Amino acid sequence: MTLKGKRILLGLTGGIAAFKAAELVRSLAKAGCDVRVVMSEAACRFITPVTMQALSGQRVWTDLWDPGVPDNMAHIELSRDRDLIVVAPASADFMAKVARGLADDLLSTLVLARRCALLLAPAMNVEMWNNPATRRNVKRLRGDGVAIAGPAAGDQACGETGMGRMLEAREIVAEVEAFFQPRLLAGRHVLITAGPTVEPIDPVRAITNASSGKMGYAVARAANEAGASVTLVSGPTALEAPAGVRRISVRTAREMFDAVVKSVNDADVFVSVAAVADYRVVNPSAQKIKRGARKAMTLELTENPDILAHVAGLKKPPFCVGFAAESEKLAAHARQKRRRKGIPLLAANLAQEALGADDNALTLFDDAGEHSLGRSSKLEQARKLVAHIAAMLAKKKKR
Ligand code: C5P
């Protein structure tokens, strides 16, 4: 587990989302973190230090002028042995303070005096988030190397709707885990395809499939966390591109093929997660096809290019990873597919378990045999896949 033994300082500032910090501290503690909690005065109006103390198992710090602190250096000492400071919720006011380097209470002072990384999870009203002053502060904070997780869009406690909801505790935990991922692919360029393709029949109808894109996006995120520069060629999905990932949006298999060919030359790794349509309609109609006198109709289909086989067949191919979603006989089909495509690594899963789901159970097939990754979230599976790819790349280099 990546978070075991990590020392985290969790700061809370004033916002109704402070209630989510209770769940957050519990999850971090459960994951094996040592969590020290510091609360601003306003945070104490939303949730009590007693709650946070009970959940973190440690005393909670609130006061810059606490006479109980032996040398009055709490603002320095509290962060010195920490691996990461997380502020959740981070109010608009707090972000403004950090952006300007102000230090007028315990939390802002120890943030200014920190040596470790800082992750903020903003929580505020949509207009506060959209205000040019906050936009400026966010830009400045990012420029200063501060990580910002969220916010998300949705209903707000004030009754309005829009950007500004703090991420859920489990999402913030995922961001914290991302911080501690080893940089196994630093300096590498990873090209990934994800999602379905859409092959038009007419302007409003198409042949597509049930791929959600979640697995491919998780691989993109995991590769980015591992320090790679990531290009994600994606069919239509409802997902947001992971932060730091360059996304190229496509619809058809041929568009996906073209986008991959354009980016593949400087790629070290190609992970083909997309569910690419094997066939497309030969002559899609330019106009909507009307229900007519015909009782039946036939669509003529022609084969799409096999993107993965093309890339694997290049003179100097990147390290190629295929995906296989099978409905039965997983291992036999996977082995055969790996051979047929001529690729070093193939990740297989059962389609009925993986499609659209948030978790997955991949089995990896390579020259050494078969490796089960167990069942976990798609992000966790993707991190294991990335570690496996990095290990294979390292071995290849040694040879
Ligand atoms: O056997 P199949 O072609 O479905 O193998 C699936 C693997 O091949 C996946 O990695 C998928 O992304 C890739 N693929 C492709 N282009 C196609 C069909 C599949 O890149 N036209």
Residues 285, 165, single domain; the answer is no
Residues 173, 299, single domain; the answer is no
User: Is residue 70 over pLDDT 80?
Assistant: no
User: In the chain, how many domains are there?
Assistant: 2
The domain that holds 308 is classified in CATH as: 3.40.50.10300
Residues 168, 194, single domain; the answer is no
Residue 2 CA to ligand 1 center (angstroms) comes to 32
Residue 265's pLDDT band, with cuts at 50, 70 and 90, is very high
In a domain, residue 2? The reply is no
Nearest to 239 by CA among 190, 196, 207: 196
pLDDT value at residue 72: 63
pLDDT value at residue 193: 98
Residue 117's pLDDT band, with cuts at 50, 70 and 90, is very high
Residues 349, 391, single domain; the answer is yes
In a domain, residue 46? The reply is yes
Is 40 near ligand 1, meaning CB less than 6 Å away?
no
Residue 184 CA to ligand 1 center (angstroms) comes to 26
Nearest to 192 by CA among 211, 209, 217: 217
User: Is residue 367 over pLDDT 60?
Assistant: yes
Residues 157, 21, single domain; the answer is yes
In a domain, residue 335? The reply is yes
pLDDT value at residue 396: 83
In a domain, residue 229? The reply is yes
Which single residue is written with the structure tokens 């070093």? 344
Residues 305, 367, single domain; the answer is yes
User: Is residue 150 over pLDDT 90?
Assistant: no
Residue 308 CA to ligand 1 center (angstroms) comes to 6
For residue 274, the enclosing domain spans: 189-398
Give the global pTM: 0.85
In a domain, residue 59? The reply is yes
In a domain, residue 96? The reply is yes
Please state, for a pLDDT cut of 70, what percent of the chain lies above it.
97
Residue 291's pLDDT band, with cuts at 50, 70 and 90, is confident
Tens-digit pLDDT profile for residues 1-19:
589 999 999 999 999 999 9
From 152, 179, 206, the end of a domain falls on: 179
Residues 57, 204, single domain; the answer is no
Residues 225, 362, single domain; the answer is yes
In a domain, residue 35? The reply is yes
Give me the mean pLDDT over the 351-366 stretch: 87
Nearest to 191 by CA among 273, 278, 313: 273
Q: Mean pLDDT, the chain, as a whole number? A: 93
Q: Which residues, in sequence order, are bridge partners of residue 206?
A: 200
pLDDT value at residue 38: 96
Residues 171, 195, single domain; the answer is no
Q: Residues with catalytic annotation?
A: 158
Tens-digit pLDDT profile for residues 18-40:
999 999 999 999 999 999 999 99
Residues 210, 344, single domain; the answer is yes
Q: Are 68 and 39 in contact (CB under 8 A)?
A: no
In a domain, residue 184? The reply is no
User: Is residue 302 over pLDDT 90?
Assistant: yes
Is 274 near ligand 1, meaning CB less than 6 Å away?
yes
SS3 of 259, please?
Answer: helix
pLDDT value at residue 351: 82
Give me the mean pLDDT over the 171-191 stretch: 95
Looking at ligand 1, which residue's alpha carbon is closest to its atom 5? Answer: 324
The domain that holds 36 is classified in CATH as: 3.40.50.1950
